[in-house]
């Protein structure tokens, strides 16, 4: 388990306040007690709390591609990353670590938004591509790893592995969502995309969100779903 958080200015290139981003990141210290780091540039800030499991020595995050133009913060595990490395290497990508995290940045460069369709695992990650002015949020197929986000009134987007990270930001309105409260009493939890706060949203399982500065916030995009059919009989041995 790790913790990710961050801020993007959707209107201009105001650099996030380091002190505020650090507090958002530390709100999730329990998710990653082994290490913590921040990355800030014009209009974007990313934070990560790390629980070291894969590539303990060189897998620190935020993690970059070769020229530093793509950076990712990631929570989870890509089970098939070793199978993807030879294919990505043949496409010209150079790996400097042995981490599954680095596979994400190179898969983004190779396949764009479709990279999530190549991953097998449990994950929530947010990736910033400076050349494309694009922030990409993704969540695994079954929603094992959480990811929350909110668009604030001043045009900033904030995200985090837990709602408490977003709540650190003073721009997040604390107005409760009455429909979310109704859902909680009906189901015992609040289904995606709602949260207890009217302003905040949960990225749904098997969904992505692609944001570009100056453009309206799009709807979440679904990249996978379970399909139940009645036309696939199996034999006794398979059963």
Residue-level length of the chain: 239
| Residue at 175 is within a domain | no
Which of these is catalytic: 2, 46, 115, 126?
2
| Residue at 239 is within a domain | no
- What's the order of all strands across the beta sheet hosting 3-9? 35-41, 44-50, 3-9, 156-160, 148-151, 200-202
Return the number of other C-beta atoms located less than 10 Å from residue 18's C-beta. 12
Q: What is the CATH number of the domain that holds 46?
A: 3.60.20.10
Selection from 20, 28, 23, 19 nearest residue 1 by Cα: 28
| Residue at 78 is within a domain | yes
Per-residue pLDDT at 238 exceeds 70: yes
For residue range 172-196, list pLDDT tens digits in order: 999 999 999 999 999 999 999 999 9
| Residue at 71 is within a domain | yes
| Residue at 186 is within a domain | no
Per-residue pLDDT at 232 exceeds 80: no
Per-residue pLDDT at 57 exceeds 70: no
pLDDT at 54: 61
Q: Which residues lie closer than 8 Å to 25 by C-beta, 6 or more apart?
A: 3, 5, 36, 38, 47, 48, 49, 165
**Domain span including residue 75:** 3-170+198-222
2 is catalytic: yes
- State how many domains the chain has: 1
What is the C-alpha separation between 39 and 62, in angstroms, rounded? 7
Lowest mean pLDDT among 50-54, 114-118, 147-151: 50-54
| Residue at 227 is within a domain | no
| Residue at 123 is within a domain | yes
What is the C-alpha separation between 122 and 129, in angstroms, rounded? 22
Task: Report the SS3 class of residue 147.
Answer: coil
| Residue at 183 is within a domain | no
What is the C-alpha separation between 89 and 217, in angstroms, rounded? 34
């Amino acid at each position: 388990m790790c913790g990710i958080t961050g801020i993007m200015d959707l209107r201009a290139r105001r650099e996030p306040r380091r002190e505020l981003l650090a507090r958002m990141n530390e709100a999730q210290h329990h998710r990653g007690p082994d290490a913590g780091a921040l990355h800030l540039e014009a209009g974007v800030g990313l934070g990560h709390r790390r629980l070291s499991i894969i590539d303990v020595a060189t897998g620190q995050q935020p993690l970059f591609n070769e020229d530093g133009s793509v950076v990712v913060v990631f929570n989870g595990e890509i089970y098939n990353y070793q199978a993807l490395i030879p294919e990505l290497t043949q496409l010209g990508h150079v790996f400097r670590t042995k981490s599954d995290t680095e596979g994400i940045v190179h898969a983004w460069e190779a396949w764009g938004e479709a990279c999530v369709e190549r991953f097998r695992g449990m994950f929530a990650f947010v990736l910033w591509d400076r050349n494309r002015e694009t922030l990409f949020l993704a969540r695994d197929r079954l929603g094992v790893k959480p990811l929350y986000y909110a668009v604030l009134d001043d045009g900033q987007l904030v995200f985090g592995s837990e709602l408490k990270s977003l709540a650190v930001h003073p721009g997040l309105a604390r107005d409760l969502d009455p429909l979310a409260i109704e859902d909680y009493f009906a189901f015992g939890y609040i289904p995606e995309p709602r949260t207890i706060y009217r302003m905040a949203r949960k990225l749904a399982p098997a969904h992505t969100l692609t944001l570009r500065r100056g453009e309206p916030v799009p709807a979440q995009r679904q990249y996978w779903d379970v399909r139940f059919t009645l036309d696939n009989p199996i034999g006794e041995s398979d059963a």
